[in-house]
Structure 1
Amino acid sequence: MTLSPPVEDAWLVIPLFNEATVIEEVVRAARRTFAHVVCVDDASTDRSAGRAAAAGAVVVSHPFNLGQGAALQTGMAYVLAATDAAYLVTFDADGQHRVEDAAEMVARARDEDLAIVFGSRFLDDRTRPGLLKKIVLKGAVWLTNQQTGLRLTDAHNGLRVLRRDAASALDLRQNRMAHATEIVLQLGRTRLPWAEHPVHIVYTDYSRAKGQSLINSVNILVDTFLK
């Protein structure tokens, strides 16, 4: 079987906070497809930064915890300033995103000349978040669409592909979960071409054990409402 060459013109941007258990494998798996990964360590108190670096990621560190939105902004700023990447891919550290989905989204951006590709777990039935989580996420989607004027099916999915011009237009100020709405709002204002792409979010035993699944969903809804 002929292996595809690694993607050279897209950088994965991974916000990182206390994911030492999984981040090394997440980065190693990503780098089988994407040549370049930057992790922004948001003042983790475990060995996350060292394990990300051991797996081959560039690691940029915050001196103290600033939140996921700030980590994304730092990662995007690094890629824009230090590389000539054509695309940036925002990607979670906990293993819930699939590298193959990210690669498909980059290919679609190239093929269709899209500046933005939003991942959506609700365009097919592969992702099974559970009833309560789905209700909370759908509520956040409705609020986001009211605020931004876009009509997305999954406004708070962390898997996104941004062409360089789209990433350059972002200036995130919301550091907590409301940054997801802020991203959609700022990207919508660019009038750049966009699409949604079906992705499969894998809710792992690890993420459920950390309590991320429902708590993050509630945080998204609260922060979106208060924004």
Structure 2
Amino acid sequence: MDDVWLVVPLYNEAEVIGDVVSAALETFPNVVCVDDGSRDHSADRAEAAGATVVRHPGNLGQGAALQTGFEYALRDPLMRYVVTFDADGQHQTSDVEVMVARLREGDVDVVFGSRFLDDRSEATALKRLVLRLAVAWTNLTTNTRLTDAHNGLRVLSRPVVERLDITQNRMAHASEIVAQIGSMRIDGRPVRYAEEPVHILYTDYSKAKGQSLWNAVNILAELIWR
């Protein structure tokens, strides 16, 4: 996995980021956390756990943090794949291993995680409804067909990372990534993508931070506004 970089946007996750980084490093030796102006000790704890930490001077948003992480990973000439990975413990490294293996087969350029391809992710019925509405809107307005367009777990090949330019700093960045991939061409051909089922773990911690239904509502609202 030396050719894989995990890019982790980080904002006020001091309670869990040490465990997230430690678990990730058991499989993936390259982890960069982009501290997006945290007001707690998130950056220090990520660094103590073994991650590389890049700091934003203020809170710019998750989209900006991902773009910074992409630019950092691209500095490694051996990097072939970038994984976008959440800091709050919702993503599983076992899913990432499957997604990277799928990309290594060489017939796709991007693998999106989907929580709707199996029943492991225990989202509420209302959250599922809002997310499916967001997916329907994204599929309607981009040149893609996905089942879960706003899942933060993705694996991107280097040529895709080189071409991405995220300008939507807040929640709408996920739709922007999908839209850019949908219109992107590599060596004269459209980007090839696939989905893999993933387990999004909705913990008491993530729910307490509001990363449940309201995130889905915010995504849908920003999509329509955009």
TM superposition score normalised by structure 2? 0.96
1:106 pairs with 2:100: yes
In structure 1, what is the equivalent of residue 54 of structure 2? 60
4+ residue runs of structure 1 moved beyond 3 angstroms? Answer: none
In structure 1, what is the equivalent of residue 202 of structure 2? 203
In structure 2, what is the equivalent of residue 159 of structure 1? 153
The CA RMSD measured in Å over matched residues stands at: 0.9
In structure 2, what is the equivalent of residue 96 of structure 1? 90
Aligned residues with identical type, % of pairs: 61
| Superposed CA offset, 1:112-166 (max 9, x none) | 4321000000011111200111111011101111111211000000000000001
Structure 2 alignment gaps of length 5 or more? 185-189
Give distance in 2, aligned partners of 1:80 and 1:105.
Answer: 20
Pairing 1:31-46 to 2, within 5 Å after superposition: 31-46=25-40
Residue type of the alignment partner of 1:99: T
Deviation at 1:215, TM superposition (A): 1.4
Deviation at 1:83, TM superposition (A): 4.4
Distance change (3 Å), C-alpha of 1:171 and 1:19: same
Residue type of the alignment partner of 1:89: V
| Superposed CA offset, 1:45-101 (max 9, x none) | 000000000111000000011000000000001101244200000000000000000
In structure 2, what is the equivalent of residue 85 of structure 1? 79
Secondary structure, counterpart of 2:53 in structure 1: strand
The correspondence for 1:172, drawn from 152, 166, 172, is 166
Deviation at 1:107, TM superposition (A): 0.7
In structure 1, what is the equivalent of residue 12 of structure 2? 18
Residue type of the alignment partner of 2:158: R
Asked if the contact 2:95–2:198 (Cα under 8 Å) also holds between the matched residues in 1, the reply is: yes
How many residue pairs get aligned? The number is 221
In structure 2, what is the equivalent of residue 212 of structure 1? 211
Structure 1 alignment gaps of length 5 or more? 1-6
1:48 pairs with 2:47: no
TM superposition score normalised by structure 1? 0.95
Secondary structure, counterpart of 1:161 in structure 2: strand
Asked if the contact 2:143–2:183 (Cα under 8 Å) also holds between the matched residues in 1, the reply is: no
Give distance in 2, aligned partners of 1:156 and 1:18.
Answer: 21
